Structure 1
Amino acid sequence: MTHSIQADSGWRVWWQLTRPHTLTASFAPVFLGTMIAINYTDIHWGLFLAMLIASLLIQAATNMFNEYYDFARGLDNEKSVGIGGAIVRNGVKPKTVLSLALLLYLIAAVIGIWICSQTSWWLLVVGGAAMAIGYLYTGGPFPIAYTPFGELFSGVVMGYLIVIIAFYIQTMSVTVEASLLAVPSTLLVAAIMMTNNIRDMVGDAASGRKTLVILTGRPVGVMILASFFAISYLWILALVIFNDLTPWTLLVFLSAPKAFNVVKTFKRYTAPLEVMPAMKATGITNTLFAFLLGIGLLIHHLL
C-alpha cells in the first residue's frame, strides 16, 4: 500500500482545508434527526436545509481552527498526514485560515438565528455551546483534542446533539425514541475522532498530547474503535427486538462490512499513510449507517 503527500492547487487548496472526509459527521446526524421526525410531523424542508448548511459550516470551521492552532503550536509540517495542508504545504497565510474559519462561524451563526426565530430562542444557548466546543477542540489554553475526552465531546456534540436539534426544530419536542436513535450517531462520530487519534498517536505523544489512545495504547484503542462499531449495530438490533423499532432499520447492517474493513486495516497497518483509507471509510460508514437508518424510518412512515 503506497501513498504520497502532494501540494494542492487552485480550488483544491480550499476544499482540502475543510477536510472533506470529516464533513459527513455533520450531514449524517442532520439527515437522521429529520428522518426520525418524519414519523411525528410534516417536515419543514427550509429548516432542514438551514440546519444542514449551518452544521457543515461549523464542521468546516472547526477543521480550520484545528489547522491553524496545530500550525501555531508547531505540530504540523509539510509531511503531516491528515491535515488540509493549506498552511504548511500550499503557502496560505495562517491568519487567512483563521479569518476564513471565523467567517464560516459568522455565517453559521446568522443561519442559526434564523432557525431560532422559526423555532425556539433556547437553541441559541445550545448552538452557542456547540460552536464554543468546536473552537475549544483545538483552540484556547486547554484544547479538548489534547485530552482523553476528544471522542466524548465530538460524539456528544456532532453526533447526539445535532440529531436532537434536527429533530427538535421539526417537532418542537425531544422524545425517548429520538434520544435512543441518536446513540449510534454519537458512537460513530466518536469513531471518526478515534481513527484520527490512532493514526496520529506517535506524533501526538511526542507533542505532549494525552489522547485516549495514547493513555490506553494502540491495541486497546483499536478495540475501543471496534466496540464503537459493534455497539452501534447491536443497539439498533436491540431496539428492534425490545423496543418495537421497525425492522426496516436493520438496513444499517448493509454498512457493516465497511466498518469491519476499517478495524481490519487498523489491525494490519500502523503507518499514518497506510491507514488513511480506513479513516475515510469510517466517515463513509457513519454516513451509510445514518442514511440507511433514516431510509428504514422513511419506509416505515410511507407504509
Structure 2
Amino acid sequence: MSETIAVVRASRPNFLILAPLCVGLGVAVAWHQGEPPALLDTLLVFVGALLAHAAVNLLNEYEDFVSGLDLITTRTPFSGGSGALPEVPGAAKRVLAAALGTLALVILIGLYFLWQRGLPMLILGTAGIALVVTYTRWITRSPLLCLFAPGIGFGPVMVLGTLVALGARLDATAITVSVISLLLVSELLLINQIPDVEADRKIGRRHLVVTLGTSAAARLVSALFLSGYVVLVMGILTGWLPLPSILSLATAPFAFWLACKLPGALEQPDTLNTLLGTNVAILLATLALLIVGLSL
C-alpha cells in the first residue's frame, strides 16, 4: 500500500457521510424557514464540514499511532481506526500534514463566513476548531466531555454553524434538530468505544466505558437513544418540528431492538460488530429521514 493510499484510508472516507448529513439538517431547517440559502455558501459549508470531519479523523489516526494505541487495538469495521499507519508507518508525517492542511482549509472557509456573518460565526467556528484539535489528546481523558464532545461537534456546532453561515435564524426548530444530533452522535461514539476499552485503558484514556465499565456504558447507549427520540417526539408535539418529521421515527423499533440486544453482546465480538454496524445504519437513516421530513 502506498503512502498516498494510507493517507486516504486514514481520513476514514467510509464514515465521512455523517458531516454532510448534519449540514443537510441545517440546510433543511433554512429551507423550512422559507429562506433558500445561496448556492455558493451552501457548497462551501458542505466542503468545510467534510474537511473538518476528515481533519479530526486524520489527527486521531496520527495521534493513536504515535501513542502506540494502534499497535494494541483489535480493529473492527467500526472501531479501532483504519489500520493504515500500522501497515505503512512511513506515512505518519504525511497523515499529519494532511490533517493540518485540511484544518487550514477549514479555517479559511470559516474566515470567509466570519467576514460575512460576524461574531456568531466566530463563536461556533472557534468551538469547532477546538474540538478537532483537542479531541484525541485531551478530551478523551475527561469522561463527560468525551461523551458529549462528538455530539456537540456534529450537533450544535455543525448544524447551528450551518444556519449561521447561511444567514438563517437560530429558532426552536434549529435548536431541537441540533439536540437530536448531539444525542445520537454521542451515542454513536460511546458504543464504538466499547470494543476498544482495554486498549484505551492501557494508554490512559478515561472515557465512560473505561470509568464505568461496558455494562453501564450499554445502559447509557440506550438512554441516549431514548433521549434522542423523546426530543424528536416533543419537537413534533410542540410544533417546533413539522409533522412530516415523524418519518424519522421509523428507525425507533430498530433502535429499541439494538438496545435490548447490546447488553448480551458485550462479550461476543461477532454479535457486537453486527450491532455496531446496525447502529451506524440507524443513526444515518434517522438523520436522513429527518432531513426529508424538514424538507416536505
TM-score, length of structure 2 as denominator length: 0.88
**1:79: how far off?**
5.6
**1:17 pairs with one of 10, 20, 33:** 10
CA contact (8 A) 2:74 2:196 kept: no
* Partner Cα distance (2:13, 2:276) in 1: 12
**1:48: how far off?**
1.8
CA contact (8 A) 2:26 2:163 kept: yes
Counterpart residue number, 1:55: 49
- What 5-or-longer segments of structure 2 have no aligned partner? none
How many aligned positions are there? 289
* Partner Cα distance (1:150, 1:21) in 2: 22
**1:62: how far off?**
0.7
Matched, 1:282 2:279: yes
* Partner Cα distance (2:109, 2:99) in 1: 15
Q: Indicate the percent of aligned positions where both proteins have the same amino acid.
A: 25
Q: Which amino acid in the other structure matches residue 107 of structure 2?
A: A
**2:104 pairs with one of 98, 103, 106:** 106
* Partner Cα distance (2:258, 2:114) in 1: 39
Task: Look up the SS of the partner of 2:84 in the other structure.
Answer: coil
- What 5-or-longer segments of structure 1 have no aligned partner? 1-7
Counterpart residue number, 1:4: none
Q: Which amino acid in the other structure matches residue 77 of structure 1?
A: L
Counterpart residue number, 1:89: 87
TM-score, length of structure 1 as denominator length: 0.86
**1:269: how far off?**
2.7
List aligned pairs for 1:1-303, cutoff 5 A: 13-40=6-33, 41-77=35-71, 80-81=74-75, 82-120=80-118, 122-139=120-137, 143-148=138-143, 149-243=145-239, 245-264=241-260, 266-270=262-266, 275-299=272-296
Q: 1 or 2, which has the higher helix percentage?
A: 2
**1:280: how far off?**
3.8
Aligned-CA RMSD value? 2.4
CA contact (8 A) 2:44 2:109 kept: yes
Task: Look up the SS of the partner of 2:236 in the other structure.
Answer: helix
Task: Look up the SS of the partner of 1:202 in the other structure.
Answer: helix
* Partner Cα distance (1:166, 1:283) in 2: 23
* Partner Cα distance (2:206, 2:146) in 1: 10
CA contact (8 A) 2:3 2:88 kept: no
CA contact (8 A) 2:55 2:99 kept: yes
* Partner Cα distance (2:52, 2:15) in 1: 12
Q: Which amino acid in the other structure matches residue 132 of structure 1?
A: A
Task: Look up the SS of the partner of 2:136 in the other structure.
Answer: coil
